[in-house]
Every structure is written in structure tokens, then in C-alpha cells.
Amino acid sequence: MKKILTLLLFAGIVLSCSTAQSVGKKKSNAKAIQVNAKTPVKKKGKIKDYSKVITKDAITDTGLFNVHLIGEKYFFEIPLKYLNTDMLLVSRFAKLPSNLGGGYVNAGTKTNTRLINWERFKDKILIKEKSFSAIAADSLPINVSVKANNYESTLYAFDIKAFSKDSSAVVIDVSSFYGSDVKSISGLSSRLRSAYKVKNLDKSRSFINSVKSFPENIEVIQDFTYNAAKPPVNTGDETISVQMNQSMILLPKTPMQPRLFDERVGWFTLSKYDYSSEELKADRKTYLRRWKLIPKDIEAYNRGELVEPIKPIVYYLDPATPMKFRSYMKEGIELWQKAFEAAGFKNAIIAKDPPTKDEDPDFSPEDIRYSVVRYVASTTRNATGPSVADPRSGEIIESDIIWYHNHLRSYRNRYLLETGAANPLARTLNTPDEEIGEMMKMVIAHEVGHTLGLPHNMSASYAYDVESYRDGAFTQQNGIAATIMDYARYNYIAQPGDENIRFVRQLGPYDNYAINYGYRYIDSAKSADDEKEILNSWILEKVGNPIYKFGKQSSRFDPTAQTEDIGNNSILASTYGLKNLKIVAKNLPSWTCDQTDNYEDLEELYGELLSVWSRYVGHVVTHVGGVVEDTKNPSQEGSVYNPVDKDYQKSAIQWLHRNAFETPMFLIDKSILQNINYAGYTEKIRRYQARHLNNLLSFERVGRLIDHNALDSKSYSALEMLRDLRKGIWSETNKSLNVSIFRRNLQRVYLDAMFKLFTEDLDPNRSRQYFNVNQSDIRALVRGELNVIKRMLTSAARTSIDTETEYHYKDSIERINTILNPK
């Protein structure tokens, strides 16, 4: 159908004019003014003959649009058939100064993704940004209201310079759009402009570098220099120079058939409100973000044979990738081939080296036609897996995996700290190449999982029994989690003497399950709704099997969905982990500074050793007031949210007293501390202990315990938790013992935390579990506990203790008096 842009006079103006002119006259018929996008309308002095605009001096590049360079000006010759056609405009950095925007902004970072149309308005061509957050069928009356209440912004307006000789295309000058500071496609957000005190774009040092047209996309490179009072790199010239890449790609005329999201299977998604619904509200529909895979031979596919997709997923390595790492990266990408076989596809995902100049002179990592594993020269220690998707359907168009150069150092360090006790290969700063390669391969596989549509699944490591991690045969077959998408990096449970242990993660059965769910081609389904029953049956087949459970990363209350943990019993897993960590701490100098003859690595690894200890402790903390979330539909048995067993919570508190709040003396090693810093020894321990004690004594946790006890009087109550905590934190008062500096610090942390509970309130904008603290039991419970502690301190201060402990007790009494009687 030909699309016609119709310009209607505003209703209010039409009404007022017709009313004013109708007095004593016959009412005339108002006609809408129409402009046919395919009919040239020449206005003298504005629209010129084609040959007057596109002269013989033009250098032309043919493709989606013909691009003409004349002098320093660029012209697009846009075929009229592409007006009102959906395209994606993607902006990203091609080059940028060091430290711009922090550690996670780099060459290849996308700054904007917009769905656009080129539209004609009189003698202008507009770039209109389209939104698909609200939709309705074109045939329904409500579609008019959806469009009226979701009016699309205009990014830029161009004068029509000419029409092509056969009137099938329109010519516009795009030099100003791509050559000036158009904020909608700029790499400098308002936040960055404010942070770096950006004044303006220096036009004398800014220009369009190149414009290339391909059959389905146009790639523009811009060099921009800004005047900025506080640039990220201060060289004295108050300048920020960036190179931007603008990709514009034609989207499929018919969007891919979307697949409905089910929260029981983790997936990256996009959502929209559908006003076509027969319900008494707009339906919020959520779809998977996924690549479009269609079997080459559908009949063979339906017979159960493995079939190649018409268009496989292809990743190229960045030309900057060091040669020694390339094989590991390619292997990491193609590990997913096995998972796609579970969905019926073979060779669905392929890794390739970057083409040479002879093979593809136009190859660029920024080109939206290519998905690339970007190798970034940055001190950031991480890797990420972003992607670009069609907002109409969720179809992934392109993705870039970002690998930061220093990332492997983090993996080396954790390999040493978490597995060194049981793994001789980890007891060195010079980790063997094969071990490093295996780590890199699995990190790349993890990031590829993100680009395929999979988020983190934090329940996957909870699927395996703790003791299984000490079984060589089990770990070699199953790795350390049911998916590569969990944050389960190393087997820190295996003990010295355990044999044939796999210490590094790998893909698992959940990955096969999720890929089948998202990518299995359902030939019989003609719409997303047609698939619902089939998809639900796949989920119900796996219900009750922890291997196929999905756990949200965002959960702060579910101990079965934690980051960086492994095993189905955090108390036992952390006990094993601390046993190993004590061995590592004892050997840390001999594995580092004794080999390098400097203390740099020792200092770095000791700092990370404290973090590992803190992680193991944190895994146990989450069980106190914890709630297991088991997402299910009403047709399934059982509740979605279930508090952790009371006895387990009490055991968790006792474990924390022994391993976190009693001073961890193995972390206080003079041979380490006095060689890496001149002071700050007590503060290091206080800071980490405070983190966990404050976490226990948080409004949210105490509030959850109150709620649980209201529904079940036999559950672990807030009063029991506070009593158990008090008995351990202040245990010295009952034994006439002197209190060490580390314990005195911890007890002051406790009093500060109780002061907060007694005087402050929850911020409804920051808390997910908001309630009226002042009218809850919290103040009464805190007052009661503080009065008990005050009596204990008063009695203990009269016993035979050293002066520092006496002063500490008396000071603590005064602190409690101030909390209870602030006036």
C-alpha cells in the first residue's frame, strides 16, 4: 500500500475560523491538504534541478541510499520507496580519550539506539523517531488515540534540494546533521557535558570523516572536538576529541514473529502496551530479545534432524585481538553450538578471524553488519555483552562483546585465592597459558550468552550438592553450576587431596534448556499467542528439577540466587571456602613477593583476599530473614515465596559469630600488613565486619522477620534474631573478659546500627520493602535490647577488666543513654 502523509489543519483552528466566517453564510466544506510523497513539488529558489545539485564533480557511493560527496558536502539521495520505512539509527564511539565516562565507556560503546522513519513534510524531509512502547492494530479505532498520545519527536529537518531525474528519489544535504553537535546522536550525554564542563563544539576542529553506503546500511564516521573546562584527560588544552560512528540500517519490512516471555525462564526482553486488548486495560506484552534463526530445511527439522539455519550468527574477532588469545575466544563463541543443537540447529553460531584488507577492505568493527568481539586497551577488569535489537519484535540485529585487556588479571587473582589450597596450578602469579585460556574461553562464552538473550541465572549453582564439588568425576562432567550464566567462577569448595577436580566453570544443562526455549523453531505457530501452550509444556516438564530453575540477579533476599556462590548449603560451602582461604593466607607471601622481590602483588592479593572472605560471609548472612523465591503459575502447587527454615537461620547466626564477628585472626598477619602499609590495620577488619553486621541490622531484614512471624508464629522472629545477635556480639560481658580493639570496634558498629534502627526511617524511594518503621515493632525491640545491654555493661564494668575495656563499657553505656534519651 502506498503511504501518504496527510497534513490536517489543527482542529481548534479550523473550528474557530469556520465559526467566524459562517455568520450569515453557507458553511463551506474544508478540504485536507495532501502532499503525495512521490510527487515532486518544486518551489522556485528552493528545489532545483538534479544536475544543479548533484554536479559532475560528485563522488558517488551507491547502496541503501546513494551518497554523493561534492567538495565538503554530503548528500543523501533517498529513494521514495524508503520514506516511512522503519530503520535503526545506532550511535557509538569509534575512538575516544582515556577515561571518558569511566571504565565502561570504550571504542564500540553504543550511546544511542533509535527507531526512525524518513518522512516528507511539504518541501522538507524529516527524521522522525518512532516508539513501539504502545501499539494497537491499524484496523481498530483506538489506533488513532495511540498515535495521538505517543506523538513522535522530530530529530532533524532537511530541505529538499532536488529530485532524481526519474523522480524516484529525493536529494537532501546531510552535512549539517552529521557535521554539527546534534545531541540526539552525540556521544556526549548531558551527564558527561556537565561533568567535563563542555562549552561547545569547535567547528574548526570537527568534520565528517567518511560516509559509506551499503545495500542495507549506511555508516558515517564523525570527528568531533569539544571545548571543555574539565576534560577527562587534562593536557592543558581544555579539549575533548571523539570519533563517532553512526550506523543506519534498514529493518525487515515484516518484523520477526516475536516470542512471549515467561518469567520462569530467564531472558532479556522488551515490553510494550497493546491497546488492542479486549480486557479492561492495555495488555503489557513482553517479548524475548533473540536472533532470527530459521531452518534451511524445515521438513528435515520437523523430523528431528539437525539443520543449519538460513542465516547463522557470526562473530568476528577484533583486529586488535592478540594472536595468542584468538583461538580461546573462537572456542568460547562456538561452545554454544552444542546448546543450539538442543534447539535443532547445527552450526548456528560461528566465530571468524577478522578479514584482511584484501578480503574485505570495508570491514570495520563499528559497521552494524558485523558482530564483533571487541578487544579494548583499558585498565578496566571486566567483559560485557551488549546487543542491538529491533524494538518492534525483539530480533537481535547485531551485538558486540567487549573484552577489557586487564580482565584476565582479576581471574588469575581469584584463581589463586579461591582454588590455590587444593589446586597446585593456581599457586603462582604466572598461571599456565592453558589455564588462562580455559578461563578466557568461559568468560567469552558467558558474554556470548548475554548476546544470545540470556541474563544471569543465579540459582544455577544452587542446583548441585556441596559435597559433589569434591567429586572429580562429578565436576568434570557438570562443572560448578547448571549454566555458564551464573556468577559461579571457581570451585572454592574442593579440599586439598581431592583428585581430578574441575575448578573452572563451563556450560551446563540449563543453557541447552534456555536456548531450546528461545530458539526452537515452531513451524505450526503463526503468532506469538499460538506458541504459549507449547512453551508452557516445556517449562512444566522441568518443574521441580533445580537444574532448570531460574533465579533473578536482582534478588537481595533469596539465598538460593546469590552471586559468586556455589552449592546448595551456604554454611557448609563457606566453611570449606574459609578452610581453603586460611591455607592461602598463610602461603600468600611465598606465592607472591618471595617470587617477585616486591610487595605490589602481595598488597593487591591481600586486598582481594579480604573481599573473598567477605563474600563467603555474605552468602551466609542472606539466609537470615531470607526468602526463597520459586516463580510459578497459579496452576502449579505451592507458594512463590517461602521463608528460610528457622533452624537454618539460627545456625547461620551462630556461624557468623564464629567466622565473621569473632576476630578472624588469620587475616591479621604481621608479615603481610607491615610490608604493605604503615597503618590502617584495625580499620580494614572493622570495615568488612561492619558491612555484614549493618546488613543483618537493616530495616528490610528486621521487617521481613516481623512479617514472617505474623504469618507463622513458629518462624524465626525479629526478637529471636536480635537476642541471638546480642548474645554473641556482647559475649565478653558474661565472662569478665577483656575486649580486644577489634571487638570494641565491632560493638560500636552494633550500637551505631541500633541507633539507626531506633531513630531513622526507610526511604520509600530507595527501599523495595517499605513500611512505617515508627509504628512497627522495631523501635520497641531495639529499646528493649539496648536496656538489656546497658544492664550487662553496668555489671561487667565492675568486674576485673583492663582499663581500656572499662572505658569502653562506660562509653557504650553513655552511647546507649544518648540513643534512648537524646535530650
DSSP annotation string for 56-102: TT-EEE-SSSEEEEETTEEEEEEEGGGTT--EEEEEEEEE--TTTTS
pLDDT in tens, 764-777: 887 778 899 999 99
pLDDT in tens, 523-576: 999 999 999 999 999 999 999 999 999 998 877 899 999 999 999 999 999 999
Q: For residue 43, is pLDDT > 70? A: no
Q: How much is the pLDDT for 402?
A: 86
Q: How much is the pLDDT for 45?
A: 57
Q: How much is the pLDDT for 40?
A: 52
Q: How much is the pLDDT for 374?
A: 87
Distance of CA 683 to the CA centre of its chain: 32
Q: Mean pLDDT over all residues of the chain?
A: 90
Return the C-alpha cell found at 741: 580493639
- Own/partner long-range contacts of 403-406 (Cβ < 8 Å, ≥24 apart): 403/321, 403/329, 403/373, 403/374, 403/375, 403/376, 403/443, 403/444, 403/447, 404/103, 404/106, 404/376, 404/378, 404/379, 404/380, 405/375, 405/376, 405/377, 405/378, 405/379, 406/378, 406/379, 406/380, 406/381
Q: How far apart are CA 133 and CA 151, in angstroms?
A: 12
Q: For residue 16, is pLDDT > 90? A: no
Q: How far apart are CA 517 and CA 514, in angstroms?
A: 5
Q: How many CB atoms lie within 10 A of CB 99?
A: 13
Return the C-alpha cell found at 103: 571504565
Output the CA torsion 456→460→466→469 (10° steps).
Answer: -80
In this prediction, residues 337-351 reach a mean pLDDT of 98
Task: Specify the amino acid at residue 5.
Answer: L
Beta bridge partners of 61: 67
Q: How far apart are CA 220 and CA 209, in angstroms?
A: 8
In this prediction, residues 793-798 reach a mean pLDDT of 94
Q: For residue 18, is pLDDT > 80? A: no
Q: How much is the pLDDT for 821?
A: 92
Q: Which residue has the higher pLDDT, 378 or 29?
A: 378
Q: For residue 21, is pLDDT > 70? A: no
In this prediction, residues 741-765 reach a mean pLDDT of 95
Task: Specify the amino acid at residue 457.
Answer: N
Q: How much is the pLDDT for 718?
A: 98
pLDDT in tens, 166-178: 999 999 999 999 9
Beta bridge partners of 35: 5
Confidence band of 11 (pLDDT split at 50, 70, 90): very low
Domain spans of the chain, in order of start? 50-250, 256-531, 556-672, 697-823
Q: H-helix or E-strand containing 415?
A: helix 407-419
Q: For residue 205, is pLDDT > 70? A: yes
Q: Which of 28-32, 197-201, 332-336, 805-809 has the lowest mean pLDDT?
A: 28-32
Q: How far apart are CA 745 and CA 739, in angstroms?
A: 10
Q: For residue 15, is pLDDT > 50? A: no
Beta bridge partners of 242: 224
Beta bridge partners of 76: 67, 172
What three-state secondary structure class fits 700? helix
Q: How much is the pLDDT for 39?
A: 52
Output the CA torsion 725→728→731→732 (10° steps).
Answer: -110
Q: For residue 635, is pLDDT > 50? A: yes
pLDDT in tens, 390-440: 999 999 999 988 888 788 889 999 999 999 999 999 999 999 999 999 999
Q: For residue 88, is pLDDT > 60? A: yes
Confidence band of 136 (pLDDT split at 50, 70, 90): low
Q: How far apart are CA 529 and CA 258, in angstroms?
A: 9
Q: How far apart are CA 786 and CA 819, in angstroms?
A: 9
Could you give the C-alpha distances from 324 to 320, 327, 328, 329, 436, in angstroms and in order? Answer: 12, 7, 8, 10, 11
> What stretches of 80-197 adopt beta strand conformation (E)?
87-95, 110-121, 124-130, 134-135, 154-163, 169-173
Backbone CA torsion sign across 565, 567, 570, 572: negative
Q: What's the chain's length in residues?
A: 823
Residues of the chain with pLDDT > 70: what percent?
92
Q: How far apart are CA 95 and CA 245, in angstroms?
A: 9
In this prediction, residues 193-205 reach a mean pLDDT of 92
Q: Which of 157-171, 279-293, 640-654 has the lowest mean pLDDT?
A: 279-293
- Rama region for 585: left / alpha / beta (φ>0; ψ in -120 to 50; rest): alpha
Q: For residue 8, is pLDDT > 50? A: no
